[in-house]
């Protein structure tokens, strides 16, 4: 049984930001990443929370793989299309800088595509889409990662874990958010299972020779994950490669090559967003959020016990009330990083 220590959210953000700044991030970058990483921990998205700090720090020290001081470059390419060159910095920082311009485009056009390239993402996508739904928009986002998933019928990794996240506003409730890797599980969860000495479900992945395995260490050590749902999940992972590696001008997961940068952990890829003002599609019909509530009602009537995103919202409420739970092991890791 793991021991958890509770830490106030703002204190956690400040401590993570200070570690990132001490490892070369510009103050504003450290603040954005610290907030992102603490928010994942707050929401119970542990595969992309405090556990990732070691990866951030070793990546920042991996001979220029990522630029913690990059200033993203915004390119207004069409009325409904905003491109951002992350300048080899972090994707969430590029998003932070592009957010207002993207919102203005949706306001003017009813929808917008935001395409971010040349950047690194190590976070939970729910945090990228939910703020747009807080503004009344539908947001759909894709990001590719590094080759760690076998294509359908294959035996070696060619796709990333490639998550898809979706957020929609609701009436008198927090946004409905789903956020899911297109692999059977996130690679971060495989790494956590390997650390904790757990075995995985059968059919989750293959070892470095392409043989099925339930050993997380075999998957981490040169093996690969399967896509969720067989050919269907693999097709979604393929779509994410197109939406990120091809559409935004980023790398395909297979093209991410960390070999020249020992210690680097961040995928250097692309991220795309489709943002929609839902009322634009409704005209004089009753409000969009009323229809969303009709649907939620049908699902609950049909026996759905919880909606996607509910667990994260509940974890967030608990964290904000009682402090963010961080395992004693991860706290010790943070303290070691703070000592430098
Ligand atoms: P999960 O399989 O845990 O959850 C996927 C979605 O299903 C979530 O929205 C979840 O809601 C929902 N859900 C789970 N159980 C239920 C249920 N019983 N009823 C209704 N809805 C349910 O997520 P993954 O393991 O696939 O992904 C983990 C994280 O890893 C994500 O945040 C993802 O963005 C991140 N990731 C990031 C990558 C990157 O490149 N940056 C790469 C790959 C993954 P809830 O959250 O409320 O449980
Ligand atoms: O958990 O699969 C993952 C992942 C890949 C890149 C960032 N997270």
Average pLDDT value for residue range 304-331: 97
Tell me how many degrees the CA angle 312-192-123 measures, rounded to the nearest 5: 50
Percentage with pLDDT > 70 across the chain: 100
pLDDT tens per residue across span 78-106: 999 999 999 999 999 999 999 999 999 99
Q: Is residue 189 flagged as an active site residue?
A: yes
Mean pLDDT of 225-229: 97
Mean pLDDT of the chain: 96
- CA 216 to chain centroid, in Å, comes to 21
Q: What is the ipTM of this complex?
A: 0.99
Mean pLDDT confidence for 253-271: 95
Cα within 13 Å of Cα(334), Cβ side: 24
- Provide the pLDDT for residue 287: 92
- Ligand 2 centroid distance, CA of 26 (Å): 24
Mean pLDDT in residue range 317-328: 98
Q: Please, which pLDDT band fits residue 283 given cuts at 50, 70 and 90?
A: confident
pLDDT at 168 over 80: yes
pLDDT of 1 strictly over 80: no
Q: Please tell me the distance between residue 179's alpha carbon and the centre of ligand 2 in angstroms.
A: 12
Residue-wise pLDDT tens digits, 43-52: 999 999 999 9
Assess whether pLDDT exceeds 90 at residue 31: yes
Residue 340 has pLDDT above 90, yes or no: no
Question: In this model, does residue 295 exceed pLDDT 80?
Answer: yes
Is 209 annotated as catalytic? no
**Mean pLDDT over residues 180-195, rounded?**
95
Give the pLDDT of residue 200: 96
pLDDT given at position 282: 85
Which helix or strand (DSSP H or E) is residue 27 part of?
helix 27-42
State if residue 114 touches ligand 2 by the CB under 6 angstroms criterion.
no
Q: Which residues of 192-228 are buried (b: 16+ CB within 10 A; e: fewer)?
A: bbbeeeeebeeebbbbeeeeebebbbbbbeebbbbbb
186 touches ligand 1 (CB under 6 Å):
yes
- How many Cβ atoms sit within 10 Å of the Cβ of residue 177? 23
Is residue 137 pLDDT above 90, yes or no? yes
Please work out whether the CB of residue 47 comes within 6 Å of at least one atom of ligand 2. yes
Residue with CA closest to ligand 1 atom 40: 145
pLDDT at 326 > cutoff 90: yes
Q: Is the pLDDT of residue 294 over 80?
A: yes
Compute, in angstroms, the gap from residue 165 CA to the centroid of ligand 1.
9
**Is residue 327 among the annotated active site residues?**
no
Query: How many beta carbons lie within 10 A of that of residue 303, not counting itself?
Result: 6
What mean pLDDT is predicted for residues 319-335? 97
Q: How far apart are CA 165 and CA 171, in angstroms?
A: 20
pLDDT over threshold 80, residue 229 = yes
More confident residue, 244 or 286: 244
Indicate if the pLDDT at residue 156 is higher than 90: no
- Compute the average pLDDT of residues 27-41: 98
Tell whether the model's pLDDT for residue 39 goes beyond 80: yes
Q: Which helix (H) or strand (E) holds 117?
A: strand 111-120
Domains assigned to the chain: 1-61+309-340 (1.10.1530.10), 72-183+227-308 (3.30.1370.60)
Task: Give me the sign of the Cα torsion angle 18, 23, 25, 30.
Answer: negative
First CA to last CA across the chain, in angstroms? 29
Indicate the pLDDT class of residue 281, thresholds 50, 70 and 90. Answer: confident
The answer to whether the CB of 125 is under 6 A from ligand 1 is yes
pLDDT band at 182 (very low <50, low <70, confident <90, very high): very high
């Amino acid at each position: 049984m793991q021991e958890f220590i509770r830490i106030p959210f703002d204190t956690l953000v400040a401590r993570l930001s200070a570690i990132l700044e001490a490892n070369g991030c510009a103050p504003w970058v450290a603040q954005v990443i610290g907030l992102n990483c603490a928010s994942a921990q707050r929401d119970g998205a542990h595969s992309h929370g405090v556990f990732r700090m070691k990866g951030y720090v070793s990546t920042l020290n991996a001979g220029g793989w990522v630029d913690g001081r990059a200033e993203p470059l915004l390119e207004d390419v069409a009325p409904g299309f905003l491109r951002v060159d992350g300048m080899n910095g972090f994707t969430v920082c590029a998003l932070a800088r592009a957010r207002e311009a993207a919102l203005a485009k949706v306001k003017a056009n009813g929808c917008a595509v935001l395409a971010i390239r040349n950047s690194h993402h190590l976070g939970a996508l729910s945090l990228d889409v939910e703020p747009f739904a807080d503004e009344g928009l539908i947001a759909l986002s894709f990001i590719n990662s590094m080759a760690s998933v076998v294509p359908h019928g294959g035996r070696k990794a060619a796709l990333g874990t490639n998550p898809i996240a979706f957020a929609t506003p609701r009436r008198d409730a927090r946004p409905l958010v789903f956020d899911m890797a297109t692999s059977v599980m996130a690679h971060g969860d495989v790494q956590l299972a390997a650390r904790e000495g757990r075995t995985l479900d059968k059919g989750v992945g293959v070892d470095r020779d392409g043989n099925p395995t339930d050993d997380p260490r075999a998957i981490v050590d040169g093996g690969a994950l399967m896509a969720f749902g067989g050919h269907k999940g693999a097709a979604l992972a393929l779509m994410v490669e197109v939406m990120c590696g091809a559409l935004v001008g980023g790398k395909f997961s297979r093209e991410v090559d960390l070999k020249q940068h020992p210690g680097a952990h961040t995928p250097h890829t692309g991220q795309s967003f489709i943002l929609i003002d839902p009322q634009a599609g409704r005209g004089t019909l009753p409000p969009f959020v009323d229809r969303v509530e009709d649907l939620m009602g049908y699902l609950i009537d049909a026996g759905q016990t919880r909606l996607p995103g509910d667990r994260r919202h509940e974890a967030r409420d608990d964290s904000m009330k009682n402090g963010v739970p961080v395992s004693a092991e991860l706290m010790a890791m943070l303290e070691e990083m703070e000592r430098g």
